Amino acid sequence: MSDEAAARIAFLRSLRAVRRFADRPVPDAVLADVLEVARWTGSAKNRQPWELVVVRERESLQALSTAGDFAGHLAGAPLGIALLMASEGGVRTTAVDEGRLAQNLMLAAWAHGVGTCVATVWSEREAAAKAVLAAPDDRTLRTILSVGYPEDEAARFLSAGPGRAAIPLGRKPLDELVHVERYGNRQR
């Protein structure tokens, strides 16, 4: 593997969820770059079934932090990015596109040293979250990213705050994840 490829792979592996943020604004130029990467994210049939709402108002972030049981990190973030997805006939058909978009936003932010974390909007709380954003009824809101510089070096690697359970670090080994040709044939 070339040094350039190794550096790119190391960058991809370095992405971490950040849930504790410094009291430091994300510069407009950084945000613009992140949003431009989002614009270029691929989607099924190039439909680009999304719109984004950038949220900086503290009261709005606080309100959105109640949208899911694990969305509290939004309250302390300098900004959030809500992913509003198109739905067809009331059926949400864009889950893969939404995941691709979220991951690209996260990686683009990380390239600038800016951390992110996914906040999942719970279905029974979606209407309230959409009301905060004045989002139209014909869009779904399931994902909001908290965005900001990590509070400290530890926030880049261990996101739990004081008095909270630590989130396990590391990854399962490949031989627990990969099957070859058929399920049960483990990679060797």
pLDDT in tens, 65-98: 999 999 999 999 999 999 999 976 554 568 899 9
How many Å apart are CA 81 and CA 104, to the nearest integer? Answer: 12
Fold assignment, 16-158+167-177: NADH Oxidase (3.40.109)
126 pLDDT band (50/70/90 cuts)?
Answer: very high
Element (H, E) at 142: strand 139-148
Q: Please give the pLDDT value at position 164.
A: 52
Q: Is the pLDDT of residue 184 over 90?
A: no
CB contact at 8 A, 146 and 162 = no
Q: What pLDDT, in 10s, does the model give residues 1-21?
A: 899 999 999 888 888 889 999
Structure tokens at 55: 């949220």
Residue spans of the domains in the chain: they are 16-158+167-177
pLDDT > 70 fraction of the chain, expressed in percent and rounded: 87
How many Å apart are CA 123 and CA 168, to the nearest integer? Answer: 27
CB contact at 8 A, 109 and 55 = no
- Which amino acid is located at 174 in the chain? L
3-state secondary structure of 107: helix
pTM for this entry? 0.88
Question: Higher confidence at residue 64 or residue 173?
Answer: 64
Structure tokens at 133: 């954003």
pLDDT > 90 fraction of the chain, expressed in percent and rounded: 66
